[in-house]
Each structure stands twice: as C-alpha cells, then as structure tokens.
Amino acid sequence: MVVSEFHQAITIIYHEQEMEVISMKKILGIDCSPTVAKTVSGLLGENDHIQYENFHDEMVLNDYDMIILWMGQRQSNVVEQICKLRYACNFQNIPIILVHGEQQDVSSQPYVIAGATEVLSLVNPSPACKHIIKGYLVPSREPLAEEIEYLNPFIKNTCHVLKTMASLDVTFKKVYFSNTIRIFGDISGIMGLSGNAEGTLVVTFYWDLAKMIIARMMGTEEDSIDAELIHDGVSEIINMISGSTKKEFVGTPYHFEISLPSVVVGPGHQIGYLQHTSVAVLIFQVGNQSFALHVCIKPKAKMP
C-alpha cells in the first residue's frame, strides 16, 4: 500500500468514525423505572446514548437531543414537570416525549399545552413507537436561501428595536423550523400579516424577561410593572418589529401590511398559520434569558 492510499484509507476510517459520533444522539430519560428504561433503550437501539435520571427542579437540558419523560405521577404533577422542563429548554427545539403504559387513550391536550412534543403509549406497536421517536431524532434542517432572505430583516430589526427601545443587547442564537406556532412562553404578541405576502408573526417571552424589557422601555423599576403594562408593552414590541421590518420588504414579494397586534397569555397555545408553510422560530438571547420570534410568511406573488 503506498502512503497516499494509506492516508486515504485512514481518512475514510476517521471520517466514518466521525460520522458515527455525529449521528449518536444524547437522550435523557426521566423518572423511568428499570422496566421502562429497558423498553425505551430497546426502541432506540445502540446508536443513541440514553442516560436516566429522576426529575428534579435544577435539571440542565442544553446538551440533550431529546427528553423522554415517564408519566408516573398524577396529571397535575406531570404537567408541572413538563412546564419546568420546557422552561429549562429555554426555547430550544428539544423534543419532550411523554411516555406511558396505558392501554386506553390518554388525552394529550394538557401535556402538549404544557410543552410536551408528543404523548406516546409504549403499549402501541413497537415499530410505531420506534419510528416516531426516531423521527424526532432526525437532525433539524437548516434554513433555505430564500428563507434566509426574509428572516434576516426580522433578526436585524428585532435586535434593533430592543436596542433602541430598551437599551438591550440582543443576540440572535439560532433558528429552527416547525409546522405550527405553539407558544410555550408566558406571553406573546401576535401580528397578522397581509398584502403581497401573508402570514403571522409572534414574539414570545417568559414573564420575567418581558417584565424586565418593559421596565427598561418605560425607564422604570420592574416592581412598578403590572400585568397590563406588560400586555401593552409586548403588543408594542411586536408592532415595532413588524412595522420596521415591513419597510425593508417594499418592492419585494415579501412586502406585507400589518394588522392590529393581539396579545396571548399562558403557555401552549396554538396560533393559526398558513397551510403548507413552514414556521421559522428565531431564538434570541438577552443575557442568560431567551425569547422567540415565530415567523410564518408566504408571498402571494411568484418569486422573481
């Protein structure tokens, strides 16, 4: 074997090893009994690394690709656990799969509203469970060029609005795509878009960050900010983000008109969106807190 061939072979092996490492997913199983853990591990196979823990309030979830939570407690407790886990995800797109062993249907509504991605009975045929779990482990896609084209102005103006109005340094962290707008924060401002392009724009905060931003916008102490002021402030933020971004789309297929802003409180609400259109979830960071901007926009006119 000549040296170059050797190097090539080593490179291939290394590359294969690297691919193996890349494809290995890190999964956290919570409150799973040994029997449940065995079942879950069996579904996932050897390529995925799953570790098990009992639930506690200080869980750090940043490094995980998936959370599998066993529904071993009363509904209210599980809902509370999911709320805390979703909050700990800090708007990151980490699937939370709630698994149970019930034969009959378990209403998924309270859990999905709290932040669960899917509710799955392990009594279902294992190929179904396996494919659904594996499906959520398939890597998320990157934005398309045409999506970047319309997302960049939103990113720029979101940072700019909060810098100007609240003297806050906001950094764009990442984007992921969904097929629905489901809100897991405490309060959201919603703007309907119409005109050349139509869609929906939603900014979502957890309460503490919203309160801090509104206090800074008003130049006052956080203690003096009540729920109504936060409501008005969030409404104003979405108004400003959409208003300032709108100007940048004049003359493009993404030019839109804005309507009245609405405000939603409470987690887990699903907002109407355009069919067959992806929803970009832009995650921004302010200090160690995050907020999200959901962008669902579709040009009516054909792209040039």
Count other Cβ atoms within 10 Å, centred on residue 30: 20
Report the C-alpha gap between 186 and 233 in whole angstroms: 14
Please state the closest distance from residue 190 (CB atom) to other proteins, in A: 6
- Contact call for residue 122 and other proteins (CB under 8 A): no
Four-point Cα dihedral 154, 234, 205, 71, nearest 10 = -120
Determine the residue type at 88.
Answer: A
- Contact call for residue 300 and other proteins (CB under 8 A): no
Contact between 230 and 207 under an 8 Å Cβ cutoff? The reply is: yes
- Contact call for residue 74 and other proteins (CB under 8 A): no
Q: What is the DSSP string of 98-117?
A: EEE--SS----HHHHHHT-S
166-185 positions binding other proteins, by CB under 8 A: 176-180, 182
- Contact call for residue 132 and other proteins (CB under 8 A): yes
Q: Which residue, chain included where needed, has tokens 């396996």?
A: 130
Considering only 153, 233, 267, 299, the residue that binds other proteins (CB under 8 A) is 267
Considering only 15, 26, 38, 131, the residue that binds other proteins (CB under 8 A) is 131
- Contact call for residue 136 and other proteins (CB under 8 A): yes
Nearer to other proteins, 159 or 205 (CB): 205
Which pairing describes strands 181-183 and 171-178: parallel, antiparallel, or unpaired?
unpaired
Give the footprint of other proteins on this chain (CB under 8 A). Answer: 83, 93, 95, 105-109, 112, 118-121, 123-125, 127-128, 130-142, 144-145, 176-180, 182, 186, 190, 192, 194, 200, 207, 226-228, 231, 259-260, 262-267, 269-272, 276-278
